[in-house]
């Protein structure tokens, strides 16, 4: 499993901080007034628009990892962030994926999926 931190920023604020996360990351830079300098990094994308939801949607679209952490541009990360997050996901067997609901009851199918994919023996 790989973790990628998805960072939304405005007017190159994150890049000006010159602090890089200790894990793979992707930056969505939104600008309205002045176009940013050309970027040679393949993990920074700039868009002439505004809106946190738009920025995060672009980040998700451009993400190439199995696990993504949506983040703000003003955070400082622990050196062990990747190991910590992946360790916790493994320890809870990624049960967060089981929050999906269906309009039509398909409990037997959900139970089969839970047992086969996650080894979970709880009753649905």
* 23 within 8 A of 4, measured Cβ to Cβ: yes
With 50 as the cut, is the pLDDT of residue 84 above it? yes
Both 79 and 99 in one domain: the answer is: no
Residue 124 placed within a domain: no
The set of residues, in sequence order, having a beta carbon less than 8 Å from that of 11 and lying 6+ positions away, is: 29, 30, 31, 32, 33, 34, 36
Question: Which of the residue ranges 27-31, 76-80, 90-94 has the most confident prediction, judged by mean pLDDT?
Answer: 27-31
Separation between Cα atoms, residue 76 and residue 61, nearest integer Å: 24
Both 8 and 35 in one domain: the answer is: yes
At residue 26, the pLDDT reads 95
SS3 content of the chain, % helix, strand, coil (to 5): 35, 20, 45
Q: Over the stretch 1-59, which tens digit does the pLDDT of each residue have? A: 788 999 999 988 898 888 888 999 999 999 888 776 777 778 889 899 999 999 999 99
With 70 as the cut, is the pLDDT of residue 100 above it? no
Q: Specify the higher pLDDT residue, 59 or 119.
A: 59
Both 100 and 82 in one domain: the answer is: no
* 11 within 8 A of 35, measured Cβ to Cβ: no
Residue 40 placed within a domain: yes
Q: For residue 29, what are the β-bridge partners? A: 9, 46
Pairing of strands 44-47, 67-71: unpaired
């Amino acid at each position: 499993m790989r973790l990628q931190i998805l960072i939304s920023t405005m007017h190159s604020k994150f890049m000006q901080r010159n602090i890089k996360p200790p894990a793979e990351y992707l930056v969505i830079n939104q600008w309205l007034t002045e176009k940013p300098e050309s970027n040679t990094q393949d993990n920074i994308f700039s868009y002439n628009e505004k809106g946190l939801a738009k920025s995060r949607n672009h980040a998700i679209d451009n993400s190439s990892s199995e696990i993504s952490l949506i983040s703000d541009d003003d955070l400082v990360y622990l050196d062990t962030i990747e190991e910590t997050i992946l360790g916790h996901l493994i320890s809870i067997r990624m049960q967060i994926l089981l929050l999906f609901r269906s309009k039509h009851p398909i409990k037997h199918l959900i139970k089969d999926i839970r047992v086969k994919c996650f080894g979970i023996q709880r009753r649905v």
